[in-house]
Structure 1
Amino acid sequence: MRKVALCLATAASAAALTACGGATVDSDEVTETPTVTSEVTETESSSSSSATPSSATTTARERSSSIGNGPEDEPAREVTDVPQQASAFSPQEEAYLAQLRESGVNVDGIEDQLTATGATVCADNLITRDAVAGQLVEQRRTDMDAAGVAALISDTARANLCS
């Protein structure tokens, strides 16, 4: 009984899969998708009775070619010099970071975090300052203790960033 049921289920599955065949698209069945150029051509030729199909096509080509009048691609070439990079920091932020460096804090690679911390000091949010000061000590970016680094960040931020 089980074998008969299994055979019937298998046959039904095979029949269902066979019925789903024909999902492949033949090239005869493919229809052309209208592009901007062909839509413009059709619109121009139907709206102006004096325009011939060749003049409408020419106008559409001129419009489509004028759309892409951007810079042309150039062949690849070897880079011999690295371009001069502008600083991403304002002069006040640069002064803030320089004063932290001079005070013995290694700020390399964490400039963004330190300037953001300085901004929070200006907003009287000292929780971030204390957390960053502790991280600087734990990462051995300074020889000072966490309280000293926190005071340094506050004083330096207020002197350079808070205005």
Structure 2
Amino acid sequence: MALSLLMFTGGSQFAFVGIIANGLGAAPAAIAASSMLGIRNGLYALELTHLLGVRGARRVAAAHLTIDESTAVAVAQREERTSRLGFWLTGLTVFVLWNLTTLAGALIGNLIGDPRTYGLDAAACAAFTALLWPRLRSRDAVAIAVLGAVVAVVLSPTMPPGIPVVAAAAACLLAWRSPKAARP
């Protein structure tokens, strides 16, 4: 519950829990992986700063509610008023429902049995693939995604849990930041 209340970004939570489940020794990798996934929310916040025009405590609340869904609804509106309303309604609704379902899972989750028997371990991978797929519109984007996958697959058998994810993210970031002329 604390993680859902304090780290309100699903991808970061899934990455953190998935890595930390392998032991507390993986905590640095879990923190790094979840932070890298959370960086996109900071980029969203840059876009929303002027649109929302919030200050003080409302700015802290807006930062906490800046997620994929609230940003998408806010930027899809044509008028500033409806953008702000859409941001707050979406952010608050997702936050409340996310935390209520987390509570429900904590209270009755054991009744469904072992999630591994249902193949749910692939759900996080499928979710990340669904987030990535629409962004693969250029050859550069595809090349960077393939680079990340190769790095993660190659390192997985020999590295501690979480390190392949961090290394793959670092490789992707370096490839993305490198000058266009340096790319094959």
Tell whether the structures are fold-level matches, with TM greater than 0.5. no
Of structures 1 and 2, the one scoring higher in RCO (CA 8 A, sep 6+) is 2
Largest Rg, 1 or 2:
1
**If the length of structure 2 is used for normalisation, what is the TM-score?**
0.19
Q: TM-score, normalised by structure 1?
A: 0.21
